[in-house]
Amino acid sequence: MNGGLLVAGTTSDAGKSVVTAGICRWLVRQGVKVAPFKAQNMSLNSFVTREGAEIGRAQAMQAQACRIEPTAQMNPVLLKPGGEQSSQVVLLGRPVGEMSARGYHGGRQQRLLGTVLDCLAELRGTYDAVICEGAGSPAEINLRRTDIVNMGIARGARLPVLVVGDIDRGGVFASFFGTVALLSPEDQELIAGFLVNKFRGDVGLLEPGLDMLRDLTGRPAYGVLPFRHGLGIDEEDGLRVSLRGTVRESTVAPPVGEDVLRVAVCAIPLMSNFTDVDALAAEPGVVVRFVDRPEELADADLVVVPGTRGTVRALAWLRERGLADALRARAAEGRPTLGICGGFQILGEHIEDEVESRAGEVPGLGLLPVRVRFAREKTLTRPTGEALGEPVEGYEIHHGVAEVLGGDAFLDGCRVGPTWGTHWHGSLESDAFRRAFLREVAAAAGRRFVPAPDTSFAALREEQLDRLGDLIEQHADTDALWRLIESGAPQGLPFIPPGAPA
């Protein structure tokens, strides 16, 4: 078997990432050797593979759904926005420069098509099936000429395409029909059918519309997935309303001790890897929320300053909003704060940046004895170590090089009283370390909070991936899906006018 499938969407956030992960988990449970693939990803949530390559976290999560290690081939192009007009281009896991949107879509993107097709071919030569994820919508006709992630990759590799639509947003039938009708005849030949996502209610009421859609397009629906809370793990972009729902059903487990622990995460600009706090949200009795006003820190037992793609910009934002003064006041009062990556750099004394913002020398908040100099070479590692008497592992993605001048050692950073800083992403996923850290936070905050003794973040993530596999197995036409992956798009699919403009 050398099967493949491209999961496209009528819109961004239609559910492509979770559907791809669900199909991967369903296949691996059938004994299929499967891998995920996304030619081009735009995201500030990234991950470091074992070989030191940076890829989107969504693809790392999908690799976990496949029960394999992620590699750079699974996400050969990663775009990390640095503002409204430009992004850092990461090619095969390594940054190759900054580029404007016009410059990228003006020629650079199309030149990468050969690279991404080579990566896909390598995966298809290694695995029984490769489940690819598209980006945005395949019907973005203004970008079709240079597309390498939707119909460009489907045409290049002759992949059948399954279009996912989010019915919870409304207009899903028009979106399905319009997506097909805006594509060229050659592209339409590969659009095999549709998958309805996030349906609430009686499927019987939807079936007449699905029958009419098949009559209009000649293409079937491959399933109707019901709405489920907490399936949006490791999103590419955006900010979730409820983090807890991403690792556990919506019922909030009661605290083990007498008190809950309140965590406030500063919603700084260009926030990256906000998935770092998922492990905190998984703990019974820990309440996590994102904040952007100083008064919202007043009742927080722990404040997290997360990573960012714009350290100097985020620092200015904290000052403008009064959050910088609130963080200084917390430190003076002995109240806990944790800075991660860019947040760690912000808490230091001094930043010298001629790389990311080119702002030169900028004073930090001065809460940790650390001086940071931005290097052109990006640090991409998977460190392991020990902290608070417990084993811990994480991953690093940063240009800033920290010189620690004092304080107590804490991972690669330092600690001064109840203020901690580290470049390590993902450290809180180490269960014993997370519990030790939360005990320290609770003691400093004066809370009678007790971490649950048996919370396993890895087990919760596995449960969630199994729930995605269950959704596909129980609510998709898996026999038809199998034929599609194995044999490609059906022959003779009708053309729906008007098609793509010349």
Pair 292, 266: CB distance under 8 Å: yes
Give Cβ neighbours of residue 290 (< 8 Å, ≥ 6 apart).
Answer: 239, 264, 265, 266, 267, 274
Pair 293, 320: CB distance under 8 Å: no
Using CA atoms, how far apart are residues 352 and 370, in angstroms rounded to an integer? 12
Pair 337, 420: CB distance under 8 Å: yes
Hey, is 149 helix, strand or coil? coil
CA dihedral 494, 495, 496, 497 (to 10 degrees): -150
Block residue for tokens 């299929």:
32
Per-residue HEC secondary structure of 53-83 comes to CEEEHHHHHHHHHCCCCCCHHHCCEEEEECC
Q: How far is CA 372 from the centre of its chain?
A: 27
Q: Residues with catalytic annotation?
A: 341, 425
3-state helix vs strand vs coil in the chain, percent to 5: 35, 30, 35
Using CA atoms, how far apart are residues 184 and 186, in angstroms rounded to an integer? 5
Closest CA to 463 of 282, 314, 304: 282
* Exposure b/e, 140-174, CB count within 10 A at least 16 = b: eeebbebbbbbbbbbbbbebbbbbbbbbeeeebbe
